Amino acid sequence: MISVQELSKNYHDKEVLSKISFAIEQGEIAGLVGPNGVGKTTLLSSMMGLIKPDHGTVTMAGELFTKTEMYQKVGFMQDNTVLYPHLTGYDHLSYVAYAQNLSLDAVEQISKRVGNDRYLHQKVGEYSLGMKQHLLFASAIIHQPKVLLLDEPFNGLDPTSLIRIREIIRELAAQGTTVFLSSHNLNELDRMTRHIYFLKDGEIIYRDLAEHHDFSYLLTVKNQPVGERYQDIQVEVINETQFIVKKENLDLVTRLLNKDENPIVDIERTQFSSENLYREIYQEA
Ligand SMILES: Nc1ncnc2c1ncn2[C@@H]1O[C@H](COP(=O)(O)OP(=O)(O)OP(=O)(O)O)[C@@H](O)[C@H]1O
């Protein structure tokens, strides 16, 4: 889980974060949203202890952000300025594996899973934006973190990569990883989470999208759900692996599917988009 308490950060006399407090439960995927320059990267970097906040504390997976033990439990996908152009993807991942006390087998495994194995031995200076994103994502999850912070993970990804990374994030969350994901891609956030934290004037505005509108979810699962326990839940069946579930039943159905090891392959909110909330909060036309 993630707990942020009264976190403040000023740059010179400009207040970017103003005593921010929030908590994200274990296994949740939560979104962080806000206009350019509002302070999302500052918040994530402060949570990681990479920027020293002026005030406040952060605890992730039970570890305080001031402790080095935290880095064994938390993964952070930063922007690509942290990459070294003269090193290969393999060099980068080997370094992270070494720092995390993992064998080099972990490098091969994670590269296959994320899909950057094809150009692993190429220098990063020759990478496209999407190729760098793959490498940054692989570096952030190579150690199966308990908490995962992602800064703009979807930038520059082609549709196949986007689907794969979305699936990996969901798999990690289903296994108990808490995910905090900063993105300008509201469509993607609509697909992945119902918990959104909007950053405005240094403060956090939390919205549980399920509380705002009466909507349902179209779920696509891996296998046909079977068993008596599904019988009492009102669902609209589309086909063997697709059905619509009302918002109030989503948590229950998700729990049952997790128990049956039947992962949700896709989830789509019907009727509503967080774009409406974004406009309302930032008062855009
Ligand atoms: N090292 C720094 N020194 C001074 N001001 C900074 C520094 N880093 C960031 N800022 C300022 O802090 C504010 C927040 O920046 P930050 O990068 O956190 O925004 P962001 O929400 O991540 O933006 P974007 O969506 O464009 O990535 C901006 O006004 C920026 O100019």
Rounded Cα distance between 5 and 280, Å, is 26
Rounded Cα distance between 209 and 186, Å, is 12
Last residue of a domain, one of 210, 244, 261: 210
* Token duo for residue 171: 């798999």
Q: Of 173, 192, 179, 189, which Cα lies nearest the Cα of 147?
A: 179
206 shares its domain with 90: yes
For residue 218, the model assigns a pLDDT of 84
Q: Does ligand 1 lie within 6 Å of residue 9's CB atom?
A: no
Q: Measured from the CA of 199, which atom of ligand 1 is nearest?
A: 21
139 within a domain of the structure (yes/no): yes
Q: Does ligand 1 lie within 6 Å of residue 17's CB atom?
A: no
For residue 285, the model assigns a pLDDT of 44
Q: Does ligand 1 lie within 6 Å of residue 11's CB atom?
A: yes
Instruction: Look at ligand 1, atom 18, and give the residue with the nearest C-alpha.
Output: 39
Residues in the chain predicted with pLDDT less than 70, given as ranges, are 211-215, 270-273, 284-285
Distance 39 CA to ligand 1 centre (A): 5
206 shares its domain with 230: no
**How many Cβ atoms from other residues are within 10 Å of residue 80's Cβ?**
18
**Ligand 1 binding pocket mutation candidate from 12, 33, 41 (most atoms within 8 A of CB):** 41
Q: Of 133, 126, 180, which Cα lies nearest the Cα of 155?
A: 133
Domain that holds residue 253: 216-269
102 shares its domain with 162: yes
Q: Which residues contact 61 (CB under 8 A, 6 or more apart)?
A: 1, 70, 73, 74, 145, 146, 147, 178
Distance 33 CA to ligand 1 centre (A): 14
Q: Does ligand 1 lie within 6 Å of residue 41's CB atom?
A: yes
Rounded Cα distance between 54 and 5, Å, is 12
Domain count, the chain: 2
Q: Does ligand 1 lie within 6 Å of residue 81's CB atom?
A: no
For residue 215, the model assigns a pLDDT of 67
Q: CATH number for the domain including 125?
A: 3.40.50.300
Write down the pTM of the prediction: 0.81
Q: Measured from the CA of 12, which atom of ligand 1 is nearest?
A: 4
**Are 102 and 93 in contact, with CB atoms under 8 Å apart?**
no
For residue 38, the model assigns a pLDDT of 95
Q: Of 263, 256, 77, 75, which Cα lies nearest the Cα of 178?
A: 75
